[in-house]
Amino acid sequence: MIDAHVQRTPPAPTQVTQLFEAELDDLLALPRCEPDQLRALRLRASGEIRFVALVEPRGVRLRQRDATATDAVTDIAADAASEAHHRVATTSTPALDRLAGDDPAMQRLLSLARRLCRQPLNVLIRGETGTGKELLARALHASGDRAEGPFVAVNCAAIPESLIESELFGYLPGAFTGGNPKGMRGLIAQADGGTLFLDEIGDMPLALQSRLLRVLAEQEVMPLGAERPIKVALRVVTATHRDLAALIVEGRFREDLYYRLNGAELVLPPLRERADRRYLIQRLFAALAAEQGGAVQLRADALHALLDAPWPGNVRQLKSALAFALATREGETITVHDLPESCRADRVATPPISPTSASPATTCVGDDTPADPEGLALARTLDQAGWNVSQVARQLGVSRPTLYRRMRRHGLVPPNRRGRS
């Protein structure tokens, strides 16, 4: 119910609210004249989030201090609507916006990334394995001026040292024995006009670091067997989970190359330190569930287990855990029992096993004994219950189909069915 005695602000000019798809109160709450201090603004029509700031257009002077905020916005909108619209359009970075929720560290990182995405600086991304370094690199590419160009990703640790030179720089026909008789265009040349992403740059052989340094310094690449270099125009984004400064001290990484690569540095926090884990879980789950089709739900106990897990493998491990749960579920609801053991070890109570109560079949079941702790505990529980599946299912708080699925996963077969083909 609306209180008729409450004095309300006169309606804002429609061109302002329509232009930004936002309420006037939300626009007036934006930081003024500080474009590097962005604030989240939810669009009224689509519900999408944009990170914006209120900047006074050039050549337009705000009214005196005693003028109302509505009057000021009216004047600005009338004289600079096209400029403001252009500013919002050119700073929209949905690829970056999707990478995080309300985690302060990630929002600071993304704020810096938005300012870097259109700058001609090489970027070094640091972070633990699985934190999403390549995702960030792709988002930088998609948000920058080279978005229409190629994005070429190279894992320096995955290519054998004997092949990495020819893969990166390419070669002419007949350059060496065993090569493609037609020659090969190198990955650096393939990235011309776009972004070259060198993952695990700390694993690049020292001899090749000198050649990469020339590419960065001269913007040209020399294929194997060539007499003249090929000009390239590209941006280089590198990533590593290693301490490059320590590698420099050890003589395993060139210091001059480090400063060429580190035009700007972005450090991704590990998943366990992020405050937006719920956002990441829900977003990844929705994307993976959509790939499989159907309406799959994530029950509260599963969500809480995912929120509390330590995630040493970071976002990559989280995505794998959700994919596992979706692939092995029984029904349309993911419960804590559908998650991998590493995600629910502290949440699924295993009945205590007394050494004196174990039957001979439990302590000596030969080749059918599971090697993993979860399978062994399940085998002992089944043996104690005389392999009564219904009883064990009630004891563990799961359905019979779920229990049968676990038995199949661990290769557990009831005694009366062993030996059958």
| pLDDT tens digit at each of 421 positions of the chain | 434 444 444 454 445 566 666 665 566 555 554 444 455 566 666 666 565 666 555 444 444 434 444 454 444 344 434 444 444 444 568 999 999 999 999 999 999 999 999 999 999 999 999 999 999 999 999 999 999 999 999 999 888 888 888 999 999 988 777 778 888 999 999 999 999 999 999 999 998 999 999 999 999 999 988 889 999 999 999 999 999 999 999 999 999 999 999 999 999 999 999 999 999 999 999 999 998 877 899 999 999 999 999 999 999 999 999 999 999 988 899 999 999 988 875 544 444 433 333 333 333 333 455 556 777 888 888 888 888 888 887 777 667 777 887 888 788 888 777 665 4
Handedness of CA 192, 193, 197, 203 (dihedral sign): positive
Element (H, E) at 317: helix 314-328
| C-alpha distance across the termini of the chain, in Å | 72
Q: Which two tokens stand for residue 52?
A: 């914006």
**Taking the mean position of all CA atoms in its chain, how far away is CA 385?**
45
3-state secondary structure at position 105? helix
Taken in order of first residue, the domains within the chain and their CATH numbers are 14-91 (no CATH), 104-269 (3.40.50.300), 272-344 (1.10.8.60), 360-417 (1.10.10)
**Taking the mean position of all CA atoms in its chain, how far away is CA 312?**
15
Q: How far is CA 60 from CA 16, 55, 56, 79, 337, in A?
A: 16, 11, 7, 8, 62
Count, residues in the chain: 421
3-state secondary structure at position 170? strand
Q: What is the DSSP string of 195-220?
A: EEEEETGGGS-HHHHHHHHHHHHHSE
What pLDDT sits at residue 357? 36
What mean pLDDT, rounded, does the chain reach?
78
Q: What is the per-residue pLDDT across 27-36, written as a single tens digit (0 to 9) for each?
A: 655 555 444 4
